[in-house]
A and B are shown apart, each in its own frame.
Chain A
Amino acid sequence: MIRVALAGNPNVGKSVIFNSLTGSHQRVGNWPGKTVEKKEGVFRYGGEEIYVVDLPGTYSLTAYSVEELIARDYIIKEKPDVVVVVVDASNLERNLYLVLQILELGARVVIALNKMDLAEASNIHIDVKELEKLLGVPVVPMVAPKRVGVSELCRKILEVVRMSKRQTTRGTNVPSGDARDPRAGKQPVAVRYGADFERAIAEIARLVEGVPALRAYNLRWLAIKLLEGDSEVIKVVREAAAGEEVLRAAKGIRSRLEQKYGDLEMALIDERYKVVKRIVGRVVRGEKLLTASDALDQALLDKYLGIPIFVTVLWAIFQFTFIASAPFSDLLGDVFAALSERLAGITGIEHLDYLLFGEYGVINGIGMILSFVPLIMALYLAMSLFEDFGYMARAAFLMDRVMRRLGLTGRAIIPMILGFGCNIAGVYSTRAIPEERDRIVAIVTNPLMLCSARLAAFSVIAAAFWGYAAGSVLLSLYLLGIALAILVALALRKLVLRGPPSPFVMELPPYQMPSLKVAVTYMWFRGSLFFKKAGTVILLGLLVIGVLASTDASTLSFTSDVERSLVAALGHALKPLFAPLGWDWRLVVSVVFGFVAKEIVIGATAMLYGVPEERFGEFLVKRYDPMTMYAYMVFVLVYIPCVATLAAVRHETQSWKWAALTLAYGVVLAYALSLLTAAIGRAILLGV
């Protein structure tokens, strides 16, 4: 049986080709020990039975992601008879990088040049013969959905296998997995890396050759990977007898070259791209026509206007969130105030009645929190519309540019955006970041993203103090969160988790008309989640505060004087710490209980002041100046994450150390920033 592996970048039509070849004779499962899908199938052609495995779509063959490792390991260890690399003809430059890497592995390659129709329609004309000549392997032009080129591909697979068998029978010195174009009889292209690198590669290859356990590998590839510092290859060499010696020598050679060229992995990538550019320059004719999508990308990702556009979009989202939800939030607030009034005395038990419906009752706090459901729903409606249109992926791309300049990975962008909804989701989504150091940095900084729970609290304060400009004030807090996350990430990368960031390749989705149905469904889902949380964790948290607020600190009996309660005692004990920030004990207690869930912060504040939702904003304005409250919001934004987020940090880092660090830096940073904001703000803006 002939064994064929299908490789290629994501979205190049690999699955279509796989289905065309195998029809219904396929099996879907997972790669051993991984959650990555494995598709395999069998078909017959030219009297031969051909087994095909669809490798995960990758942009390169580094050791940075599970998909890349699976694809690479399969080619190296399973040594398929042929590797069919599916290439998108309309995006040849990006796709050829992977082709060169697979050729470097020494595999027998056939190129399936797919999407030829799209390339032609975009005015891209590819000289297939020239490409075949330059790569030294067969190239089959294809339009997979129309089955154009499928038979030719099968024919080429057989030709390569038969040629390889003939060479083996004749005893030609063909290294394991060598690819030769059976018709042209040429060697596949080899990337030449410049004299210094070539000398180093040859030197390391000689050393590797001396280790019998490593002879099964393509020696040149192994040498290049050692030069790049590939962690998986280093592991393989270390496990081989006498491998340590090779590693020591390779390390010496590496350090020598690093002094001259800096990061060797980047230098070698540059060399490969030079070859890619040379090939593209020789085989591609015609200038690619600008599509509508390209033109829009040029504007949205503009070097200078890209970020202002992003800020404008964020501003519009927050203004919409705040403005559109205001009447509904007020209406809900009224409903709860009326409910509290109607239900007063219903239990017949004085203490319970006070706890539930009294001035400092739980209904007051819950009403305050539930009045934010419209706000959360409006936020998700707006975000979903922009996401559906395709803008959020472009925003991630823009931020990646900024992050990369700072030496951080762009892979952290998606968790950051998810963190705007909920930090727990943001922390769990960091699993997509393959490099451990980058992942930890992304986890530890995610709680700085302004989540919807904090948004609820901030919207009341912002509306009370800044009225119609509340959206802009909220935007300033979002931007502050992003800036702080970047600064903390930079500090961690420079001081604790040193090393280069992992590369990030991103596929931009096509633009599409946003679906109102999808947006409304999403909005409803998030709103109901918030409702559920209010009915469980938040309600429980507020009940605890309620009990503490109605228990006399000295006698531990019921009291209706909140100033004599346990919660007041706690607040008064901690108050000196927060005195420089200008808070009273109630604000102190609310941030302490915010550790359970951030929504509690504002609910608890309303409860402890004994002010109903509809008068709460007005009450705050009378009691505090704008800068104290802005500084308070800065504190709540930055200080400790909620307990569920902290648990997620511990779970994802598998270490209490990182959870403790998240807690510690949050408190210190929050206190310092809040103090600074209040002091500078009062001095400059209020002249105090």
Chain B
Amino acid sequence: MSRSTVYYGAVLGLLYIVYGIVQLYNGAANWWLGREELLQLGIRAFGTYIPNAFPDPFSGLALVTVGLLFLDSLYHYARGNMKYVGYLFTAWLLSMVMLTLNVVEIVAIILDAYYPLLYGVEPNYEWSLASDPWGVAPHLVLGLLSLPLYFDLRSFIRELMPRYTKLGGSPQGLT
């Protein structure tokens, strides 16, 4: 695993934490204090923000957890402990899960809006990025930024789950 991968992961970790905190703040302010105005750290486009830090405290906590895992990976790497790869992989895996979730959300909401067209009636509602509650959320943007880590994690994944067997990892040890 190259050093730059771990450092890149750490930068991503910081971004995950920042957006996680923003979502936590927005969630608390909107859910519990009824504030409509949200804190956004994105670029204004298509009538919304990219990324869109929609208010949801649990989602914020999930982002912070991924961020901490990335940073923990750097911490263990700096101490020369090989377990850093486990933290990096976990952070990457969760970021992929969240990326998938955001994509599923967009696809599902478009389907939900337009499925009535199948039987020739008006859509349930008009979908746009601006009306989508998640939209392009931090989960999607940061997930896309995490994708390149796969190339450095490939050998770890192969060792963890050998391709043609269901019996688990070989005991060769991490190098």
Contacts and interface: CB of A to CB of B under 8 A. Distances in A.
Interface of A: 90, 118, 121-123, 289-300, 302, 305, 308-309, 311-313, 315-316, 319-320, 323-324, 326-327, 330-331, 334, 390, 467-469, 471-472, 475-476, 509-513, 684-685
B108 A469 contact: no
Contact of B101 (A294, A296, A302, A316): A316
Contacts of A476: 58
A305 B68 contact: yes
B89 A323 contact: no
A463 to B, nearest CB: 11
B169 A305 contact: no
A332 B112 CA distance: 12
A512 to B, nearest CB: 5
A468 B104 contact: no
Given A311-B58, A467-B133, A472-B57, 9 more contacts: A296-B89, A299-B89, A308-B68, A311-B61, A323-B104, A327-B109, A334-B116, A390-B168, A512-B161
Contacts of B174: 289-292, 295
A292 B58 contact: no
Nearest to B167: A510
B104 A312 contact: no
A476 B172 CA distance: 42
B171 A122 contact: yes
Contacts of B108: 323-324, 326-327
A300 B82 CA distance: 15
27 contacts: A291-B159, A292-B169, A293-B168, A294-B86, A295-B86, A295-B156, A297-B86, A298-B83, A298-B86, A299-B83, A299-B86, A299-B89, A299-B90, A305-B68, A312-B61, A319-B105, A320-B104, A323-B101, A326-B108, A326-B109, A327-B115, A330-B112, A330-B124, A467-B133, A468-B56, A472-B56, A472-B58
A324 B102 CA distance: 11
B17 interface: no
Contacts of A292: 85-86, 156, 159-160, 169, 174
Contact of A123 (B59, B111, B116, B173): B173
B98 to A, nearest CB: 7
B115 A295 contact: no
Given A293-B168, A468-B134, A512-B166, A331 B173 contact: no
A293 B58 CA distance: 28
A331 B124 CA distance: 11
Nearest to B166: A512
A291 B173 contact: yes
A685 to B, nearest CB: 6
A512 B59 contact: no
Contact of B169 (A299, A309, A471, A510): A510
Contacts of B167: 510, 512
A140 B101 CA distance: 53
A323 B87 CA distance: 28
A635 to B, nearest CB: 21
Contacts of A326: 108-109, 112
Contact of B160 (A289, A296, A315, A319): A296
A312 B167 CA distance: 27
A394 to B, nearest CB: 11
Nearest to B62: A312
A554 B170 CA distance: 75
A330 B87 CA distance: 40
Most buried by B among A292, A300, A330, A684: A292
* Consensus secondary structure, chain A interface: helix
Which A-B residue pairs are the 6 nearest by beta carbons? A510-B168, A289-B173, A295-B86, A468-B133, A472-B58, A299-B86
Given A323-B104, A324-B108, A469 B56 contact: yes
A122 B169 CA distance: 12
Contacts of A308: 61, 64-65, 68
B160 A293 contact: yes
Nearest to B90: A299
A302 B59 CA distance: 21
B19 interface: no
A295 B82 contact: yes
Interface in B66-111: 66, 68-69, 72, 82-83, 85-87, 89-90, 94, 97-98, 101, 104-105, 108-109, 111
B31 interface: yes
Given A291-B169, A292-B85, A292-B169, A309 B94 contact: yes
Contacts of A298: 83, 86-87
Interface string B23-67: 000010001100000000000000000000011111101101110
A379 B111 CA distance: 19
B161 A513 contact: yes
A121 B171 contact: yes
A330 B65 CA distance: 33
A334 B121 CA distance: 12
B154 to A, nearest CB: 12
Nearest to B91: A299
A469 B55 contact: yes
Contacts of B104: 320, 323-324
A19 to B, nearest CB: 18
B161 A511 contact: yes
Contacts of A467: 133
B157 to A, nearest CB: 8
Contacts of B105: 319, 323, 468
Contacts of B171: 90, 118, 121-122, 289, 291
A90 B173 CA distance: 13
B140 to A, nearest CB: 13
Contacts of A511: 160-161, 168-169
B90 A309 contact: yes
Nearest to B33: A685
A641 B72 CA distance: 43
